[in-house]
Amino acid sequence: MFLIKIPEADSTNRQILEFAAEREAPFALMAYSQTAGRGQRGNKWEAEPGRNITLSVLFHPRTVKASEQFIISQAVSVAIAETLRHYMPQYSSSVAIKWPNDIYVGNSKICGILIENVINGTEIVRSIAGIGLNVNQSVFLSDAPNPVSMRQLMGKEYDIDVLAQYLCNVIERFAKAFFVPNHYPRLRGRYFSMLWRAQGYHSYLDTASGEKFQGMISNIDASGYITLTDDNGRQRRYAFKEVEAINIDEP
């Protein structure tokens, strides 16, 4: 995949559009410093300049229907998880995808993904995947509860240029392989096999009602909705932001 590198951007998800007319998608834009990076729920993404990977990939996924746009999120998150397993083999069994697309190592967040789709009717006109991967940062100053970096885990520095290109190539390979309807089941199988808290009952918070409950992941459908079966056997279906995974000791 062609990777453009620039010194600074406010948001790579926004700035990649300035290059869209010049490049054939998919391509990626990486900024060594991102001044207004966005995370999920409108949060600001903390990334020490020159120490981490902040990049965006632009796709024109014309073979993916708007009703199944979650396939894009699944492909990108699985590609990143596979990349981390390659670079950190000691942690291979601990790398997991927290629904919908955060990447965790154990109970710590190492990567955030922000997918932004432009839809016209049933067609996805454009998809941008913004990726923030903690690589060489050793100290986190924000109030994010559980960040971790590759350096903290592995005790060594990484060449972010080499790592970014490898990651982009894996994402491109996954897009070519899985943005095809008859390959969706295989991608979903890989996604499910990597899910964080995939087994057993865990603590969740219904953000609308404030209710805490014990639930087990029973399904994630093509549109990205998650279904949790609570310990009373009730099926609870949620969109992103409607439910949060919590630790049992959280107030």
62-76: pLDDT as tens digits:
899 999 999 999 999
Q: Quote the pTM value.
A: 0.92
239 phi and psi angles, rounded to 5 deg: -90, 165
User: Residue 182, CB half-sphere, CA atoms under 13 Å: how many?
Assistant: 0
Pairing of strands 123-133, 108-120: antiparallel
Task: Give the separation between CA 159 and CA 8, rounded to whole angstroms.
Answer: 18
Q: Are 246 and 204 in contact (CB under 8 A)?
A: yes
pLDDT for the residue numbered 249: 44
Q: Are 227 and 239 in contact (CB under 8 A)?
A: no
Query: Would you write out the chain's pLDDT as a tens digit for each of its 251 residues?
Result: 999 999 999 999 999 999 998 888 899 999 999 887 655 445 566 778 899 999 999 999 989 999 999 999 999 999 999 999 999 999 999 999 999 999 999 999 999 999 999 999 999 999 999 999 999 999 887 777 799 999 999 999 999 999 999 999 999 999 999 999 999 999 999 999 999 999 999 999 999 999 999 999 999 998 899 999 999 999 999 999 999 999 754 44
Identity of residue 75: A
Element holding 104 (H helix, E strand): strand 102-105
Q: What is the CA radius of gyration of the chain?
A: 18
